Chain A
Amino acid sequence: MRVVCCSNSSLAVTATLPSFPCLGPRFLPRIAIPISIPSSAIRFLPLRSTASPRQITTMASKNAQDQQDSRLESISSAIRVIPDFPKPGIMFQDITTLLLDTKAFKDTIDLFVERYRDKNISVVAGIEARGFIFGPPIALAIGAKFVPMRKPNKLPGEVISEEYSLEYGTDKMEMHVGAVQPGDRALIIDDLIATGGTLGAAIKLLERVGVHVVECACVIELPELKVQP
């Protein structure tokens, strides 16, 4: 069984993001879930399966002892892996099954809120569309505003745009002019980080208007994917 391990080292973490002129260190909390692929044929997990081939190898830790938070195991096992979606070879990490588990969903939000509540975060930016599911509950709990980062032509009124690379071609992300102010302290939320292209675009958008991006937070990381240059 191949298990993808995440390192707890913050040095390794900063290396996974594209480098931008930044105002401070940025690192990804590894709150969950490496992927493990069984040696036999890849199975499609039924929606409510609690039997997961996944192993948790690490977690985000806020204390020196690096104790594994017991909530992480149920969060991890609630996420469903769907092979060959949206195309062959991709193991899609489906968080919708997590959302069906009321305790695990609440624990997911709580883990983020515990980490960020005393960090003076004024903005939670959520990336369309699954970032809209995790971002607002966090924003509400920590008293921050929520700013949606959207695909082109969805936001009405004046926007700023940032183009970013895809495997083939480019895409664009937009944010409302005036949603954030210079000096705002921001958290960026998405369900998953793969190559980091989308998160990189979100960071750029916020920094272009003078916001300090404190951290990016995702439920899932695919650490084996290389970052876009």
Chain B
Amino acid sequence: MSAYKDQDPRLHGIKTKIRVVPDFPKSGIMFQDITTLLLDPKAFKDTIDLFVERYKGKNISVVAGIEARGFIFGPPIALAIGAKFVPLRKPKKLPGKVISQEYILEYGRDCLEMHVGAVEPGERALVVDDLIATGGTLCAAMDLLERVGAEVVECACVIELPELKGRERLNGKPLYVLVEYIEI
């Protein structure tokens, strides 16, 4: 589901604040830069509000944010809906006991880690990242949470790149985004 289709008036302000940087990190990629959104206090607040309005009262006990830009959007949402915040990190960043989930990249693999004990069986979780592209990272995040018995209620991202079909990769898990970026 995309909020943009619902035409909430706040969305226009959010979309125009996202900066597209061509050929980053490599040639051919149109990078969706959310840092310019963060420079607009109203648009940043609206972004958080849109997520909070959707998830408040849904009994979400965990917001899991994917390093590093998921750390920017996840905690304000978690604080507003009274959920705990769980960082999902690249390898070797979290101290103590972790569980790991490997996932495939375009070339090679990467790995996402979560603390053992951070999430309990039966908890209702939201996964937050700034953007969904192929869905690989979000899938790894969902796997981690489901492996410890949590229920992933939804994945929430500011931006979707629908042409990369990440939504389909989520195995039927609902995805909610605020804006889509489609290359013309």
Contact = CB atoms under 8 A, between A and B. Distances in A.
Interface of A: 44, 46-48, 80, 82, 85-86, 92, 94, 96, 99-102, 105-106, 109, 128-130, 132-134, 136-137, 139-140, 143-148, 150, 153-157, 176, 179
A18 to B, nearest CB: 26
Contact of B72 (A86, A92, A136): A136
B38 A99 contact: no
A156 B31 contact: yes
Nearest to B42: A143
Q: How large is the interface on B (under 10, 10 to 19, 20 to 34, 35 or more residues)?
A: 35 or more
A47 B116 contact: yes
Contact of A145 (B19, B41, B68, B86): B41
Contact of A146 (B44, B87, B95): B44
Given A47-B116, A96-B94, A102-B82, A139 B39 contact: no
B79 A86 contact: no
A106 B79 contact: yes
A129 B67 contact: yes
B35 interface: yes
Given A101-B84, A129-B71, A139 B41 contact: yes
Nearest to A157: B21
A120 to B, nearest CB: 14
Contacts of A134: 75
Contact of A44 (B33, B89, B96, B117): B96
B117 A179 contact: no
Given A133-B71, A133-B85, A145-B40, A100 B118 contact: yes
Given A99-B75, A132-B68, A157 B85 contact: no
Nearest to B63: A99
A179 to B, nearest CB: 6
Given A132-B71, A133-B87, A156 B33 contact: yes
Interface in B39-89: 39-41, 44-45, 48, 67-69, 71-73, 75-76, 78-79, 82-87, 89
B25 interface: yes
Nearest to A124: B38
A130 B82 CA distance: 20
B21 A156 contact: yes
Given A136-B72, A140-B48, A144-B41, A94 B79 contact: no
